[in-house]
Amino acid sequence: MKLYAEVAEQYSDFAAYAADSRCFRDWASRAATDQALLGWIGRLPAIKQQPNLVFAAARWHGVPAPGPYENLREALLCDDGSIRDTILRRSTQTNEVGRLATLAPVFARIARKSGPLSLVEAGASAGLCLYPDRYRYRYEFVQPQRSELWPVGDGPILDARAKGAFSVPTHSFEVSWRGGIDLSPLDVDDDDAMAWLETLVWPEQHERRARLRQAVQIARQEPARIQRGDILTDLPSLIDQAAPHGQVVVFHSAVVAYLEPAARERFDELMRDLVAAGACRWVSNEGKNVLPSITRTGPSIPENHPTFVLGLDGVACAWTHGHGSSLRWLD
C-alpha cells in the first residue's frame, strides 16, 4: 500500500492490493477518480487518508459492507463530523494472526540454533501475533499437490499456500517471553477496542474475523507485555527487558509502512545496528516498497505484483501474502 502518496494514487494502489475483497476493490477504484470524495479525504492529515482506515470508520458508523459505493460516498460527503472524528481518533491496527503462518517458519529457523525465543513485536497493537507457539500450521503445496501439517501448538489451524523451495519445519520452538511496543496499545479485555479490530477486517472475510476472535481468546489467557512507546526510540529498552529470557527476536508485519519514508530509513538503520551488535535477530514482513534495502536482496518483483517481503536480519527469504495466506520461499 502506498501510504503518503497522493490520495488518488493511494486509493488506486489499494484497489489492486484489495484483490481479496470485491467491495473494497470497487470502493477504492471508484474513490480514486471521484474528485469530490478525494477532496474530502485530502483534508484529513496525511497518515489518516489511508483507505482501510477511512472505510473502517464509515463502516463503524453504519455504512454497510459489502454494499454500494454510493452509500459510502454519501456518508462521507454528508458527514456531520462523526466519521471524521473516528478517523482522527482511531488507527489501522490490524492484528492479522494469519501472518503467523509465514512468520513461524523463520522463528523455527532461529530457535533451532538459539533455543527459546524472547519475542518482541514492533507495532504490536493488541499483541495477537505474539503467540506463534499456540497454533498449528497447514501448508498446501501445488507441485506436487499435497498438504502438510506442522503442529507447533495445539490451537487453531492457520493455512497457507506454499511455493518455492519451502520445507515445512519438522521441529517446534519455545517462546519463553513475549512483549511488544505500540504508540497506542490495545487491551484485549477492552470490548470496544476488539470490536474496532473486527471492523478493520475486510467485509467478505468471515474466516479472518473468526480467526481474530480466536486469537483474542488466546491472548486473554496469557496477556503479553505491551508497552506504549515509539519503535524508533523505545525499542532498545524493551529488547533489554527481553534479553534475559532467551534469544531476542524483534519482528513486525505491516507496521513500518505507516512510518513516513525518512522514518522507515531510520528504523532500517536502527535494526541493522541492533543485529550487528548481537542484541537481537530481526524478522520483517512488509510491502515490497517499504524496506527497499531488504527487497533488493531477493529477485526482482514485477511492478504489478502486490506482495510482502519476509526478511531475516535484513535479507529477503520469502514473498508473502499480506494476510498470510501464501508464501513463496526464495532460498
Residue count of the chain, please give it: 331
Does this model's pTM top 0.95?
Answer: no
Q: Which amino acid is at 304?
A: N
Domain-embedded: residue 236 = yes
Instruction: Tell me: do 162 and 68 sit in the same domain.
Output: no
Among the three residues 58, 89, 120, which one is the final residue of a domain in this structure? 89
Q: Where are the beta strands (DSSP E) in 46-199?
A: 117-122, 136-141, 146-150, 157-164, 175-182
| Residue 1 within a domain | no
Mean residue pLDDT across the chain: 95
Q: Which of 255, 318, 291 is nearest to 102 (CA)?
A: 318
Q: According to the model, what pLDDT value does residue 331 have?
A: 74
How does residue 1 score in pLDDT terms, banded at 50, 70 and 90? low
Same domain (yes/no): 260, 194: yes
273 and 128: one domain? yes
User: What is the residue whose three cell numbers read 491472548?
Assistant: 219
| 276 in a structural domain | yes
Query: Does a structural domain hold residue 104?
Result: yes
- 161 and 65 assigned to the same domain: no
Asked if the structure places residue 37 within a domain, the reply is yes
Q: How confident is the model at residue 180 (pLDDT cuts 50, 70, 90)?
A: very high
Which of 295, 290, 271 has its CA nearest to residue 281? 271
End-to-end CA distance of the chain: 26
Nearest CA among 93, 287, 100 for reference residue 198: 93
Residues 169 and 261 in one domain: yes
pLDDT in tens, 41-100: 999 999 999 999 999 999 999 999 999 999 999 999 999 999 999 999 999 888 899 999
Which CATH number belongs to the domain containing residue 139 in this structure? 3.40.50
How many CB atoms sit inside 10 A of residue 276's CB? 10
Q: Are residues 196 and 83 in the same domain?
A: no
Q: Is the peptide bond before 144 cis (omega within 30 degrees of 0)?
A: yes
Categorise residue 158: left if φ over 0, alpha if ψ from -120 to 50, beta otherwise: beta
Over residues 164-179, the pLDDT tens digits come to 889 999 999 999 999 9
Cα dihedral 132/56/180/230 (nearest 10): 150
* pLDDT score recorded for residue 215: 97
Write the CA distances from 93 to 85, 119, 182, 251, integer angstroms: 17, 19, 10, 15
Residues 105 and 158 in one domain: yes
Domain limits for position 162: 97-329
Q: Alpha carbon of 297 to those of 103, 107, 168: distances in Å? A: 18, 20, 23
The confidence band for 17, taking pLDDT boundaries of 50, 70 and 90, is: confident
Q: From start to end of 29-126, where are the E strands?
A: 117-122
Q: Do 184 and 291 fall within a single domain?
A: yes
Pair 126, 160 in one domain: yes
* Chain segment 101-110, per-residue pLDDT in tens: 999 999 999 9
Q: How far apart are CA 175 and CA 292, in angstroms?
A: 30
Q: Are 184 and 203 part of one and the same domain?
A: yes
CA distance 21 to 318: 24
Same-domain check for residues 149 and 52: no
Count how many domains the chain has. 2
Mark which of 59, 89, 119 sits at the end of a domain.
89
Nearest CA-CA partner of 219 in 295, 107, 130: 130
Residues 135 and 218 in one domain: yes
Does a structural domain hold residue 2?
Answer: no
> pLDDT tens digits, residue range 293-323?
999 999 999 988 889 999 999 999 999 999 9
Judge whether 161 and 102 are in contact, CB under 8 Å: no
pLDDT tens per residue across span 115-167? 999 999 999 999 999 999 999 999 999 888 999 999 999 999 999 999 988 99
